[in-house]
Amino acid sequence: MDKKRMVSMLVLVGACAGLSACATTGDVDALRSRVDALESNVSAVQSDAAAARATANDAVNIANQAMDKANEANARSIDTETKIDRMFKRAMHK
């Protein structure tokens, strides 16, 4: 191959490579709209996650209140059982 033909071939290959790698305005716009949609979806997911976190915190608070009431009821039950036992033992001594 002569030099001129080799240079022509390299220019042609370079032009093809350069043109195939360039994005068109339409491609950039499509990509931009996809990015915008993804950002919107991320915002919605973050909002949903915050709402779920708040609901979970409410559930934990309700569970803690229920546990406190159950512990209080258990303490009263033990106290009442102790009083009944004392009354029974007094009755048996008489």
Question: Looking at residue 50, what is its pLDDT?
Answer: 96
Is the pLDDT assigned to residue 58 strictly greater than 80?
Answer: yes
Cα–Cα distance for residue pair 84/90, rounded to 1 Å: 10
pLDDT band with cut points at 50, 70 and 90 for residue 2: confident
Is the pLDDT assigned to residue 57 strictly greater than 70?
Answer: yes
Question: Looking at residue 22, what is its pLDDT?
Answer: 61
Question: Looking at residue 16, what is its pLDDT?
Answer: 60
- List C-alpha distances in Å: 87 to 29, 51, 63, 70, 91: 86, 54, 36, 25, 6
Through-space distance between the first and last CA atoms of the chain, rounded to whole angstroms: 128
